[in-house]
Structure 1
């Protein structure tokens, strides 16, 4: 007697393919009105809490190039690429029309470090000898001395040798020769600026080339010196550098004499300085003293850690808790009512049932997380800016990355809690486990000391919240890039991979449980 085969459905799968399972699970989800309302609540809470957090932060910070600032609050310049920059230095310059060059020998380079307590204003009288690693002295060409203007410079540093830098984020190392007694040359040909170094002023080595767009016919070229805050651990101290130049040689059409100016060092400017410094020149020699930096801006304490995503955190956490509840109910509700037997009868391949549920709840989680972030971020930015708070610039690519990252975080958390629901079969247990594993580590980590905090945000699911990190990092700035200063220990996608690893383990365990245990 031969067995009678069950009729095969279209697509060649007699127990219903993944598509059929997906359709069934989606119908289950969308027909429960309470779950749809829960999704709306999750999104609204994210936006509302972002608004409340942003509205509770009030301070004043000037941005751009204006000079009107609220008392005690700094102005942060914006660079050619739209990034926040530090642009403070002592400049001894003259006009240059058309092509030309400036050559000089850096004869001496020394520095001072403030010894005043952190909460006491720095003063030149309270210092000790010391040259900051990224103190800079050399030749700089710029169309405008307004902070944030485009520039190109060949320079010596305290501990990083000779460099060619332009527009704050671009850096080319020289041959690494000692800074003292080095010859430097900067040439202009139309919009192309080239930096050279030499040990004897005879044999020259090209360090780097920059093409500055929109460079006017007349620019300023001259000598500069600057010295940034020096950090030892979490404590930063203002510094000052003094550079001596000789054998100044200018070629090309120059009009007017040398003029000394402190760029970006007024009370309205954001970069902490030891003193404004000064410049003196005689014939073909000059000595400059200055403080500040020419580099990407970092928090530097005075600015706080406000970003386009900083006010989003609380809303994302609370929204994740609501999704945790929905994800748990999506599977435990069937166990409680005994409907899981019907589901497994309709789709006997249990792994397929789990996959269909995971795709549905993950898709729903991604959609609500990304949509909420897309609405909440501009709301938070608008409120913070209206309250006079400085918000670090974030381009469209960064904003898109945060939006997608938030969607992936909520999707992965929802899938992981679904897996917990399969294993525990109880709503209370799955929700509690989800909150403890995926939300609590962040709350604990924010209150732990440095090392423990760093490891918690590296190895627990809290690492995924690094998608909210948009503060700039730069190898050109010595700074403690710690969580306390607003910097996550992992890059955004690395943090997501940590969370994805936990989700994969949870799904694997859920599948084994579903296969081996009766419904």
Structure 2
């Protein structure tokens, strides 16, 4: 019996380096279509051009840089200070029996009034240089006793306002680089409010009494207005102990002006005078981070320089939508699928190519506009809100990621809808339109916040550089750079939309006929 040996059945397997071959093919396809390449370059250029137009306004000459605190953020550091340098470790104790204020109603007239975050208390400050580290205990206009340090940190103490009948005693104790704050209602029983480590605190910091008042808010009928305000604190005689013993007190306004969130009117000034064995001190300004909005009128933030990102994003959406739908329209998608090991690899390759192109366009544009916009604004007389280098890098890279995620979203929607015009409309309406409506203050704040939480427009939050601080009063809204979600949380919302659309596109591309 003769046995016939048949060859083993042929097996179908992708060519060696299958996915890499598909990726190279898609990259070649992208770079050889002039319209896609020019549109990608155009996205970079238009992002810069719109940003340049947004920074073209002049404010009458160069602006000085804002003080920068220990964390790298721009800060207000303006207050009236009765102080002296004190060497080594020690403590300062004082009672506060009154905190009153005046609010300007016109350049020459004032009315009684007190800003909620007006403050009077004691402070240990590394130096008189604006932005230097500090720790302070204080009473406030409407938030009781607080311990604040290094501009961004705030700890609550006893609630309630001070009065002659219900004074507050405040104490700061320095031990090396650590400053601890205490409070008391009778000067005998003390409770700790908090402790701060001031890295590099000098051997002889400036120690003493201070008063500050940010601008007072006023409902103007069309929005929130801010008027100059001063506060006056009534102190007992300060006591130095535990190693400190002082000489004569010196008085001065820290910073030439009163900062970006407080000022004197034409009829008020800072001063310290003796009063009933203690001191009565009047001051204006604030010791706090600089924030956006009306409280910092004229101060520019990094997102102001990147306002053109929405225009660049639209151009990349057009590119991404056409990158897929043009093959459906011209009947070429079948050829693409036939030359690939799997349909899914085609979609993944296209997403990588258009996503990387968008990322490069957005990142390069942001890398140019952030430093150039800042220097141009300063030259034109507008202060710039300084942020740490890590935040700058997040904004620059985040702009590239924003355009990349939007492009993948558009590509995926294009697979689902197979129509370029419809795809572009869907993505622009769901992402760009909510962003423009929210930041242009067309909608009420609650509606703007809602849109920037639940729509793909939340992704623009990756560009935000301003932070909500409870101890600083301003208008916290998208119009002024505040998004309802944290930067990466907002970007995650956009990524979620892109991921869902991409998953849907993967399913449909495998099930549908080419």
Q: Flag whether TM exceeds 0.5 (same fold).
A: yes
- What is the aligned counterpart of 1:304 among 292, 298, 301? 298
Call closer, same or farther: CA 1:340–1:223 in 2, change over 3 Å. same
Which structure 2 segments of 5+ residues have no match?
1-5
- What is the aligned counterpart of 1:82 among 72, 75, 78? 72
Report the Cα distance in structure 1 between the residues aligned to 2:259 and 2:233, rounded to whole angstroms.
26
With normalisation by structure 1, the TM-score equals 0.85
Report whether the alignment pairs 1:159 with 2:112: no
Q: How does 1:321-400 map to 2 (within 5 A)?
A: 321-347=314-340, 349-400=342-393
1:211: Cα distance to partner?
Answer: 3.3
Three-state SS of the structure 1 residue aligned to 2:83 is strand
Report whether the alignment pairs 1:443 with 2:429: no
Q: How does 1:56-71 map to 2 (within 5 A)?
A: 56-60=57-61, 62-64=63-65
- What is the aligned counterpart of 2:112 among 128, 145, 152? 128
Q: Which residue of the partner structure matches residue 313 of structure 1?
A: 307
1:401: Cα distance to partner?
Answer: 0.7
1:488: Cα distance to partner?
Answer: 2.4
Q: Which residue of the partner structure matches residue 511 of structure 1?
A: 506
Number of residue pairs aligned between Structure 1 and Structure 2? 496
- Which range moves more in the overlay, 215-224 or 2-11? 2-11
Q: Which residue of the partner structure matches residue 196 of structure 1?
A: 182
Q: Which residue of the partner structure matches residue 73 of structure 1?
A: none
Q: How does 1:104-503 map to 2 (within 5 A)?
A: 104-114=94-104, 116=105, 120-121=106-107, 123=108, 125-129=109-113, 131-174=114-157, 176=159, 179=162, 180-231=166-217, 234-251=224-241, 252=243, 254=245, 256-264=247-255, 266=257, 271-273=262-264, 275-281=268-274, 284-299=277-292, 300-301=294-295, 303-314=297-308, 316-347=309-340, 349-445=342-438, 446-451=440-445, 452-503=447-498
1:54: Cα distance to partner?
Answer: 2.2
Report whether the alignment pairs 1:27 with 2:17: no
1:327: Cα distance to partner?
Answer: 1.1
Report the Cα distance in structure 2 between the residues aligned to 1:20 and 1:376, rounded to whole angstroms.
36
Report the Cα distance in structure 1 between the residues aligned to 2:471 and 2:29, rounded to whole angstroms.
54
Q: Which residue of the partner structure matches residue 6 of structure 1?
A: 11
Report the Cα distance in structure 2 between the residues aligned to 1:17 and 1:268, rounded to whole angstroms.
62
Report the Cα distance in structure 1 between the residues aligned to 2:330 and 2:323, rounded to whole angstroms.
12
- Which range moves more in the overlay, 214-223 or 16-25? 16-25
Report the Cα distance in structure 1 between the residues aligned to 2:211 and 2:295, rounded to whole angstroms.
24
Q: Which residue of the partner structure matches residue 3 of structure 2?
A: none
With normalisation by structure 2, the TM-score equals 0.86
Q: 1:386-409 CA distances to partner (integer Å, 9 max, x unpaired)? A: 222211102211111112211121
Which structure 1 segments of 5+ residues have no match?
65-75
Report the Cα distance in structure 2 between the residues aligned to 1:161 and 1:63, rounded to whole angstroms.
34
CA RMSD, 1 decimal: 3.0
Report the Cα distance in structure 1 between the residues aligned to 2:326 and 2:424, rounded to whole angstroms.
13
1:128: Cα distance to partner?
Answer: 3.2
Three-state SS of the structure 2 residue aligned to 1:126 is strand
Report the Cα distance in structure 2 between the residues aligned to 1:4 and 1:158, rounded to whole angstroms.
87
Report the Cα distance in structure 2 between the residues aligned to 1:302 and 1:94, rounded to whole angstroms.
31
